[in-house]
Amino acid sequence: MFSSNSNEWGTPQKLFDELNKEFDFTLDPCATIENHKCNKFYTAENNGLDKSWKNEVAFVNPPYGREIGKWVEKCYKESDGNGATCVMLIPARTDTSYFHNFIYHKAEIRFIRGRVKFVSFDKEKVVNASAPFPSMIVIFRNYNKT
């Protein structure tokens, strides 16, 4: 899970709970059966990128591979045109084109102090490992919601 063989990084429950108190999430569009955080969720098999998130409050911890830019763009567009609020947990990579095209000056950014201890589901046990990169919370809000 925490090697180049996987791009999935499970969210620590404490971090999710803190954010959920603030946002009251309704959707986890980047989940697995084992790690979903909301009652409504999508897995790789039913691809959250292809679904509407209209008026949802989405917690988004996307796969951290080359597809991450598509998830950032999806959050931006869902909040801008579909009434969604999207809260992302992603690596703090401020040099990327997706950061400059869809996050910088367009979303609220909260940098996380220290390294997140992500969760891996290794058969029957949960394994925690610190990320080898800094992380940030990115919040796309629908300011036009009535």
Strand 117-122 with 108-111, pairing? unpaired
Taking the chain, what is the end-to-end CA distance rounded to the nearest angstrom?
A: 41
Kindly report the CATH number assigned to the domain that includes residue 106. Answer: 3.40.50.150
How many domains would you assign to the chain? 1
Q: Is the whole model's pTM more than 0.85, yes or no?
A: yes
Q: Is 73 among the domain residues? A: yes
What pLDDT digit, counting tens, does each position of 18-52 carry?
999 999 999 999 998 888 999 999 999 999 999 99
What pLDDT digit, counting tens, does each position of 60-116 carry?
999 988 899 999 999 999 999 899 999 999 999 999 999 999 999 999 999 999 999
Q: Is 30 among the domain residues? A: yes
Q: Is the pLDDT of residue 15 over 50?
A: yes
Q: Is 2 among the domain residues? A: no
Q: How far apart are CA 104 and CA 96, in angstroms?
A: 11
Q: Is 66 among the domain residues? A: yes
Beta pairing partners, 60: 88
Q: pLDDT confidence of 127, banded at 50, 70, 90?
A: low
Which residue range is the domain that position 20 belongs to? 13-140
